[in-house]
Homo-oligomer: A and B are copies of this chain.
Amino acid sequence: MSQTDTVHRILDAAEVLFAERGFTETSLRTITSTAGVNLAAVNYHFGSKKELIQAVFERFLTPFTEILNRELTRRGAASEPLQLDDLLQSLYRVALAGLASQGRDPKRFMRLLGLAYTQSQGHLRRFIVSRYGDSYRRFAGQLAAALPHVDPVTFYWRLYFMLGATVFSLSSFDAIEAILREDFGAESSLEETLARLAPAAVAMLTAPMPGVGSGQVPGASAPRGSTGDNR
């Protein structure tokens, strides 16, 4: 009861339905009837559908970036020997487990993130960039600092490759998992998949440089105290 209840019910229903069908394909009527509240409640509490979409993302992204920032700070202070593989995997795990511990499904989060990229909702992109752009840049900067021998342009392209691999595969996790289970009878947990994804991402970030003869300096791509030699 009370205000909070209606707001939460709407957010919960919207989160699930958006992740399943996308934004434009999910009507406010479907959301409110799923949530068991009146149609007008969305406009009353959130103002508009756009603002509801943003609220759904805010509920995911705010704790996510907080956890991420905390972890980055912790690692920065410890100044441990850079182990890119371990760094990435623990980031994945900490951030997603943090979400899960607050009752937010990490797979659904990734699915929504994938939608945010591809469903050209201009307002959503602007909202996310303005609100969480700093966290993103901090993460990217820290990663770049761990790869000093990769030139900036190559690094950023690889960062996008990595984001693509992550968002794409995790946002379709259930579908991919179902296929693999049918074909090989092997079940994959999200944790397992992250354990596969992290070394793959590292390998991509530290791959030998493209272009004519200018391969990177041998040994430079594997940071001292190296993670995996991606031979």
Contacts and interface: CB of A to CB of B under 8 A. Distances in A.
Given A120-B25, A158-B200, A208 B193 contact: no
A202 interface: yes
A180 interface: yes
Contacts of A117: 118, 168, 172
Contact of A160 (B114, B172, B211): B172
Contacts of A24: 22, 24-25
A200 B161 CA distance: 8
Interface stretch (A4-12, A38-46, A56-64, A214-222): A214-222
Contact of A219 (B163, B204, B231): B231
Which of A176, A193, A199, A200: most chain B Cβ within 10 A?
A200
30 contacts: A24-B25, A25-B120, A115-B118, A117-B168, A118-B118, A153-B180, A153-B186, A156-B184, A157-B180, A160-B169, A160-B176, A161-B168, A161-B169, A161-B201, A163-B168, A164-B164, A164-B166, A164-B168, A165-B165, A165-B168, A168-B168, A199-B209, A200-B204, A202-B207, A208-B231, A215-B228, A219-B231, A229-B231, A230-B230, A230-B231
Interface of A: 20-22, 24-25, 114-115, 117-120, 152-154, 156-158, 160-169, 171-172, 176, 179-180, 183-184, 186, 188, 193, 195-204, 206-211, 215, 218-219, 221-222, 228-231
